[in-house]
């Protein structure tokens, strides 16, 4: 049955701006945090990004333990190691520092530590039984929006697929978005995570409308479909990506563009984590699991192909997206919907994202296995503006091959 209302989730508090990471110090004092576990990785230790977080917590009066074995697209084994570290330290606050990978690890650790479970207990919708200990998420990429989202994604290396959980209890209590922390991102990370943010915004604003969203009987859905508030957030995120994604990636000294992309990623995170993502994400999860490409690269590669498939169902929105991404109509009229696909292809090319599955190590014979795995993620199909069957998905993969 379709919904007659929408509801909007956000982190408890969102702080944004250069230097905001220093605010951890008064927060630690105000909330009386005594034992802080930082969940991060070696790159962020080396880039001294995690150290700035550590120093702020210490000056706020907390003892700090650091789990620095986070990894990109983290596995269940890494989540077990992070949980073991939490169990031996017994923190009263968990602070994720990193890209979406470390933030998701921190979310998983907070849930499993608080509820004495195993990392795999929280896959699927609404599996966290209640609130977790205080969770702070500090992004160092401008991409995933995990700092504001209700999602947590790990990699099941056995099944070779990305696997996720959604729960309101995964939304951090504090999201501290300090754009300066993204400045040390390598160019490829900035490109991959930046196009992930654009994908989130485009999927959020083209999902089924909330009052048209049909959930099969007996099922529940983590997302509400599109409504005015998320559409406004997604529109702003798309406009920012149109203006700032390319300079943020191509010019390492363009800090204004990088600041704007940090904002776009957070806005897109608030949009998608309420309205939902759809076929691009359903199709990326198997590709990421089998090809070990980054989430952003897989999404960016697939995005124009899925947009092309969805074009007929959302012509008006796609023609607006084209304009927001800087396309011009020849005759002063509105852009065509097709120009949105052209715009994303142009941006994808300019920031160095591959446009063919074969170019990132995929083999033709894998396309059926990708399709079978994607078809299992039906909860994202419900949100797609156009219904898709096995043949449709296989055809999109073949076109993208
Ligand atoms: N929870 C959500 O809502 C959500 C949404 C989208 C994606 N994701 C997940 O997030 C992950 C991808 O996250 P990502 O794109 O942010 O990349 P990432 O976290 O995987 O980071 C990629 C690499 O960049 C390095 N890095 C990150 N920030 C850096 C910095 N400032 N300086 C130097 N190196 C830096 C990391 O150490 C890592 O090696 C995937 O697992 C994806 O499935 C989660
Ligand atoms: Zn994503």
pLDDT digits (tens, 9 = 90+) for 132-177: 999 999 999 999 999 999 999 999 999 888 899 999 999 999 999 9
Do 110 and 138 lie in one domain? The reply is: yes
Residue 6 lies in a domain: no
Do 149 and 200 lie in one domain? The reply is: no
Residue 198 lies in a domain: yes
Among 182, 211, 243, give the residue marking a domain's end.
Answer: 182
Span from the CA of 31 to the centroid of ligand 1 (angstroms) = 28
Measured from the alpha carbon of residue 52, the closest ligand is 1
Using the Cα atoms of residue 102, residue 268, residue 378 and residue 284 in order, give the sign of their dihedral: negative
Is the predicted pLDDT of residue 108 greater than 80, yes or no? Answer: yes
Residue 5 lies in a domain: no
Q: Which residues contact 209 (CB under 8 A, 6 or more apart)?
A: 225, 226, 227
Is the predicted pLDDT of residue 2 greater than 80, yes or no? Answer: no
Cβ-in-10-Å burial (0-12, 13-18, 19+) of 262 comes to buried
| E strands present in 9-126 | 13-16, 35-39, 63-67, 93-98, 124-125
Do 90 and 143 lie in one domain? The reply is: yes
Residues of the chain above pLDDT 70, percent: 100
Do 250 and 146 lie in one domain? The reply is: no
Do 265 and 144 lie in one domain? The reply is: no
Residue 2 lies in a domain: no
Span from the CA of 332 to the centroid of ligand 1 (angstroms) = 40
| E strands present in 250-341 | none
Task: Domain count for the chain, please give it.
Answer: 2
Among 182, 200, 225, give the residue marking a domain's end.
Answer: 182
Residue 260 lies in a domain: yes
Q: Which helix (H) or strand (E) holds 139?
A: strand 135-139
Residue 231 lies in a domain: yes
Span from the CA of 64 to the centroid of ligand 2 (angstroms) = 30
Is the predicted pLDDT of residue 293 greater than 70, yes or no? Answer: yes
**Stretch 391-396: mean pLDDT:** 98
Do 271 and 351 lie in one domain? The reply is: yes
Domain that holds residue 316: 187-400
To the nearest 10 degrees (0 to 180), the angle between helices 295-310 and 279-291 is 140
- Which pLDDT score, from 0 to 100, does residue 20 have? 97
Q: Ligand 1: does its nearest atom lie under 6 Å from the Cβ of 49?
A: yes
Q: What is the CATH number of the domain that holds 175?
A: 3.40.50.1970
User: If you take atom 25 of ligand 1, which residue's CA is the nearest one?
Assistant: 43
Residue 7 lies in a domain: no
Residue 3 lies in a domain: no
Do the Cβ atoms of 68 and 39 come closer than 8 Å?
no
Q: Ligand 1: does its nearest atom lie under 6 Å from the Cβ of 179?
A: no
Q: Which helix (H) or strand (E) holds 339?
A: helix 338-350
Token pair recorded at residue 42 = 């070696």
Do 154 and 265 lie in one domain? The reply is: no
Span from the CA of 207 to the centroid of ligand 2 (angstroms) = 14
Do 152 and 228 lie in one domain? The reply is: no
Q: pLDDT tens digit string along 110-127? A: 999 999 999 999 999 999
Do 277 and 293 lie in one domain? The reply is: yes
Provide the pLDDT confidence category of residue 80 given band limits of 50, 70 and 90. very high
Q: 10 Å Cβ neighbour count for 34? A: 13
Token pair recorded at residue 264 = 């776009």
Cβ-in-10-Å burial (0-12, 13-18, 19+) of 130 comes to exposed
Do 142 and 203 lie in one domain? The reply is: no
Token pair recorded at residue 138 = 């500090």
Using the Cα atoms of residue 214, residue 315, residue 381 and residue 239 in order, give the sign of their dihedral: negative
Which pTM does this prediction carry? 0.98
- Which pLDDT score, from 0 to 100, does residue 1 have? 67
| 167: three-class secondary structure by DSSP | coil
Q: Ligand 1: does its nearest atom lie under 6 Å from the Cβ of 141?
A: yes
Do 303 and 385 lie in one domain? The reply is: yes
Do 67 and 48 lie in one domain? The reply is: yes
């Amino acid at each position: 049955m379709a919904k007659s209302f929408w509801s909007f989730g956000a982190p408890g508090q969102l702080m944004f701006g250069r230097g905001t990471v220093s605010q951890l110090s008064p927060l630690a004092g105000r909330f009386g945090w005594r034992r802080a576990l930082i969940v991060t990785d070696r790159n962020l230790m080396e880039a001294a990004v995690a150290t700035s977080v550590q120093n702020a917590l210490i000056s706020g009066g907390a003892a700090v333990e650091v789990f620095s074995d986070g990894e990109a697209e983290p596995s269940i084994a890494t989540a077990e190691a992070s949980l073991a570290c939490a169990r031996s330290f017994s923190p009263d606050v968990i602070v994720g520092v990193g890209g979406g990978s470390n933030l998701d690890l921190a979310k998983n650790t907070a849930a499993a530590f608080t509820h004495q479970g195993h990392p795999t207990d929280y896959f699927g919708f609404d599996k966290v039984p209640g609130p977790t200990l205080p969770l702070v998420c500090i992004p160092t990429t401008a991409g995933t929006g995990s700092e504001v989202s209700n999602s947590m994604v790990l990699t099941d290396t056995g099944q070779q697929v990305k696997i996720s959980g959604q729960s309101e209890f995964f939304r951090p209590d504090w999201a501290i978005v300090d754009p300066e922390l993204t400045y040390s991102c390598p160019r490829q990370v900035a490109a991959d995570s930046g196009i992930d943010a654009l994908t989130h915004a485009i999927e959020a604003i083209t999902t089924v409308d909330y009052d048209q969203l049909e959930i099969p009987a007996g099922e529940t859905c983590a997302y509400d479909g599109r409504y005015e508030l998320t559409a406004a957030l997604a529109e702003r995120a798309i406009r920012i990506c149109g203006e700032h994604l390319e300079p943020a990636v191509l010019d390492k000294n363009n800090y204004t563009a990088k600041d704007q992309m940090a904002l776009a990623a957070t806005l897109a995170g608030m949009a998608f984590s309420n309205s939902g993502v759809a076929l691009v994400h359903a199709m990326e999860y198997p590709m990421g699991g089998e090809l070990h490409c980054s989430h952003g690269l897989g999404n960016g590669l697939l995005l124009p192909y899925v947009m092309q498939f969805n074009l007929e169902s959302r012509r008006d929105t796609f023609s607006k997206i084209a304009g927001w991404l800087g396309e011009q109509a020849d005759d002063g009229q509105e852009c065509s919907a097709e120009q949105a696909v052209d715009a994303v292809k142009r941006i994808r090319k300019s920031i160095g994202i591959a446009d063919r599955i074969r170019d990132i190590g995929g083999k033709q014979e894998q396309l059926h296995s990708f399709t079978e795995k994607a078809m299992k993620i039906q909860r994202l199909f419900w949100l797609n503006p156009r219904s898709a069957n096995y043949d449709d998905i296989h055809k999109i993969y073949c076109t993208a091959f």
